[in-house]
């Protein structure tokens, strides 16, 4: 039995496996610029975040109908469950679909269908977070929030907002207004910061956007005062070790700062980001850090506990306590 964990940094579009991409392409009459899954997989050599994003947005062309989004999420939840994920807070990128003529209603209805039955089918509780693309305008983000209004919790499945896509040159402050509007609507707030961008983007995400969790946050280690603040305020960081290697944020996994970050007292979690592209799901990331960084069973338990502490389960503290009890009772073999 795998260690129970929550997945807090997962782009549903990044779970599109080559086999499903080709199946959806055939179903929707979309021609992909790759002969087969093998040729597609060979293209998964990334120099940086942008080179990944180009392929990631391109492959989304196969996602067109409500069924496509339901099938995508269902496949992810089955894989996640098999790797011990008990709770998933799932990101999606509405602007990437709206730009292709796929409506918010189609995307949310499809994802929502898979999420609604997830607990019964996979034993995984779920929440949905919509991300704004930071390389699009602030106005576009505000229009996206407006389009999402019928689908916001408690009426709909969307419980929060995030910020993703190309980081450098797109500081968080650009999105101050839309994050203010999201907060006024009662939405939770997270933001990618300090993946490729400088530590100052992390500070800005906290101060200007009111971010409650930082996605990645790796580069906080360059600023000791920021580390002190993150430790003091117990700000969760959703790290994605395999992603960091594949997008060259770190050279090799053995040099990942995760052990130093835990030693510093940071509230770190381990997640998969875009598992279909980066070589593994949540459990694979846990196994990778155990093997490459020699993390002890107690460190792994801490990471799993942190994932539930950092999750947005305030509406169901009983559930959070139950999940944490499962972590504490877990016996490592
Ligand atoms: N969108 C999907 N994955 C991402 C990542 N790792 N960073 C920024 N935007 C993303
Ligand atoms: Zn991400």
Over the stretch 175-196, which tens digit does the pLDDT of each residue have? Answer: 999 999 999 999 999 999 999 9
pLDDT at 159: 98
pLDDT confidence band for 298 (50 / 70 / 90): very high
Q: Whose CA is nearest to atom 6 of ligand 1?
A: 273
Whether the pLDDT of residue 156 is over 90: the answer is yes
Q: Which of 284, 263, 264, 287 is nearest to 275 (CA)?
A: 284
Whether 331 is covered by a domain: the verdict is: no
Is position 251 within any domain? yes
**Cβ atoms of residues 246 and 46 within 8 Å:** yes
pTM, 2 dp: 0.98
pLDDT at 330: 98
Mind giving me the DSSP string for 220-235? Answer: GGG-HHHHHHHHHTT-
Inter-residue contact 206 to 235 (CB < 8 Å) = yes
> Residue with the nearest Cα to atom 9 of ligand 1?
165
Would 321 be classed as within a structural domain?
no
Whether residue 265 is contained in a domain is answered as yes
Q: Assess whether the C-beta atom of 192 lies below 6 angstroms from ligand 1.
A: yes
Q: What is the pLDDT of residues 65-109, one digit of tens each?
A: 999 999 999 999 999 999 999 999 999 999 999 999 999 999 999
Write down the catalytic residue from 17, 66, 195, 302. 195
**Looking up tokens 């839309």, which residue turns up?**
178
* 274: Cβ contacts below 8 Å, ≥ 6 apart: 11, 13, 14, 15, 52, 56, 243
Verify whether residue 195 is a known catalytic residue: yes
- The number of the ligand nearest the C-alpha atom of 247 reads 1
Is pLDDT above 90 for 277? yes
When pLDDT is cut at 50, 70 and 90, the band that residue 150 belongs to is: very high
Is residue 318 domain-resident? no
Distances (CA, A) of 276 to 67, 169, 283: 19, 27, 13
pLDDT at 105: 98
- Domain interval for residue 173: 5-311
Q: Would you say the C-alpha torsion 211, 147, 58, 280 has a positive or negative sign?
A: positive
Q: What is the pLDDT of residues 221-266, one digit of tens each?
A: 999 999 999 999 999 999 999 999 999 999 999 999 999 999 999 9
pLDDT of residue 315: 96
**What is the rounded average pLDDT of the residues 215-223?**
98
pLDDT for res 333:
87
Q: Is 13 a residue whose pLDDT tops 90?
A: yes
Q: Is residue 240 part of a domain?
A: yes
- Domain assignment present for 332: no
**326 CA distance to ligand 2 middle (Å):** 27
| pLDDT surpasses 90 at 284 | yes
Do 227 and 220 touch, CB atoms closer than 8 A? yes
Say which CATH number the domain at 267 has. 3.20.20.140
Q: How many structural domains does the chain have? A: 1
Mean pLDDT of 41-59: 98
In a domain, residue 322? The reply is: no
Find out whether the beta carbon of 274 lies less than 6 Å from any atom of ligand 1. yes
Q: Which helix (H) or strand (E) holds 236?
A: strand 236-239
Confidence of residue 304 (pLDDT cuts 50, 70, 90): very high
The burial class, CB within 10 Å (0-12 / 13-18 / 19+), for 177 is middle
Residue 114 region, left (φ>0) first, then alpha (ψ -120 to 50), else beta? alpha
Average pLDDT of every residue of the chain: 98
Token pair for residue 116? Answer: 């609604």
């Amino acid at each position: 039995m795998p260690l129970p964990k929550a997945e807090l940094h997962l782009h549903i579009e990044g779970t599109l496996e080559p086999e499903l991409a080709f199946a959806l392409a055939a179903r929707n009459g979309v021609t992909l610029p790759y002969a087969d899954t093998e040729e597609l997989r060979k293209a998964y050599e990334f120099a940086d975040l942008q080179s990944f994003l180009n392929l990631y947005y391109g492959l989304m062309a196969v996602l067109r109908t409500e069924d496509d989004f339901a099938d995508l999420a269902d496949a992810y939840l089955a894989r996640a469950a098999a790797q011990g994920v008990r709770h998933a807070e799932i990101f999606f990128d509405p602007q990437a679909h709206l730009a292709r003529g796929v409506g918010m209603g189609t995307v949310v209805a499809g994802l929502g269908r898979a999420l609604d039955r997830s607990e019964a089918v996979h034993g995984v509780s779920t929440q949905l977070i919509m991300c704004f693309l930071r390389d699009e305008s602030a106005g576009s983000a505000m229009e996206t929030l407006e389009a999402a209004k019928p689908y916001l919790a408690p009426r709909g499945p969307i419980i929060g907002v995030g910020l993703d896509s190309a980081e450098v040159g797109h500081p968080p402050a650009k999105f101050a207004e839309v994050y203010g509007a999201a907060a006024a609507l009662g939405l939770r707030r997270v933001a990618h910061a300090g993946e490729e961008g400088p530590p100052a983007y992390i500070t800005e995400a906290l101060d200007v956007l009111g971010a409650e969790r930082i996605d990645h946050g790796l580069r906080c280690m360059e600023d000791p005062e920021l580390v002190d603040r993150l430790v003091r305020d117990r700000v969760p960081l959703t790290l994605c070790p395999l992603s960091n290697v594949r997008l060259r944020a770190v050279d090799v996994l053995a040099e990942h700062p995760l052990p130093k970050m835990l030693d510093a007292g940071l509230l770190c979690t381990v997640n998969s980001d875009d598992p279909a592209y980066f070589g593994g799901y949540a459990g694979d990331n846990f196994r990778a850090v155990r093997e490459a960084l020699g993390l002890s069973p107690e460190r792994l338990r801490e990471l799993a506990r942190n994932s539930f502490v950092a999750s947005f389960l305030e509406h169901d503290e009983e559930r959070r306590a139950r999940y944490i009890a499962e972590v504490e009772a877990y016996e490592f073999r």
